[in-house]
Amino acid sequence: MRKSLKVLFSGFSISFLGALPLGTLNLTAFDIAASQSVVSAIWFAIAVVLVELVVVRLAIYGNEKLTLTDRVSNYLFPLGIILLLYLAILSFMDASQVSETGPQFTALPEIGSSFVLGLLLSALNPLHFPFWMTWTKVLSTKGVLERSSRSYSFYIWGIGVGSIIALLIFIFLGKYVFSNYQDYSKVTNLFMGLLYLGFSLYLTFLLIKKRLNLKLQ
């Protein structure tokens, strides 16, 4: 039981701390909570975590068994870049349409379901695979994560709880901030647009760097 609690805490700590730095997923949850509702943001968070748990389950099999990882990554990078650019354009368009006394805006009008948005943003994040493969291998090497269904179950539960709690922090902060700032809509749309644009450029840089390294090899 002690080993199970240790792997549970390890999964929780990695996912919780990994979800705290500002990024597209937690700030989108923040934005949905502020612009739409807490319920919509929670559905977004559930979708994000579901995809993450699928990725973790794949990572458990180990790098040597996932021979398609590089091939999948090659598809995820361009798709993720396109989605982020699309969201950036929508955010900038929303920011330009918000007036001082205008109606409440919808952060992502072209994607009506926050659950679907969560699935897309999480599934098309090419950094999920290397992140969880690395940590899974580290924990396995150190003997924290054992080759047993019990150990894997506690590991996955810890990751799920850690990610949900971290996203809930941003969700409730978003709701609190929105209720206290009248100019939230325009500022947040601009900020989210820059965030999506910046991360798409970062992924583009990683993709180009990866392709150049392959050519040099």
Within the chain, where are the H helices? 2-19, 24-35, 38-60, 69-97, 114-123, 128-141, 149-178, 184-216
Please provide the distance, in angstroms rounded to a whole number, between the alpha carbons at the two ends of the chain: 47
pLDDT tens digits, the chain, 217 residues: what are they?
A: 788 899 999 999 999 998 888 888 998 999 888 888 899 999 999 999 999 999 998 888 765 465 555 666 677 778 888 888 888 888 788 777 654 444 444 444 467 789 999 999 998 887 888 788 888 888 888 888 888 889 999 999 999 999 999 999 999 988 877 665 455 667 777 888 888 888 889 888 888 887 777 666 5
Q: How far is CA 94 from CA 42, 106, 201, in A?
A: 23, 8, 21
Read off the pTM: 0.78
Query: Residue 128: which H helix or E strand, with range?
Result: helix 128-141
Cβ(186)–Cβ(98) below 8 Å: yes
Alpha-carbon gap, residue 141 to 91, rounded angstroms: 43
Query: How many other β-carbons are positioned within 10 Å of the β-carbon of residue 67?
Result: 8
**CA 167, 97, 88: angle at the middle one, nearest 5?**
45
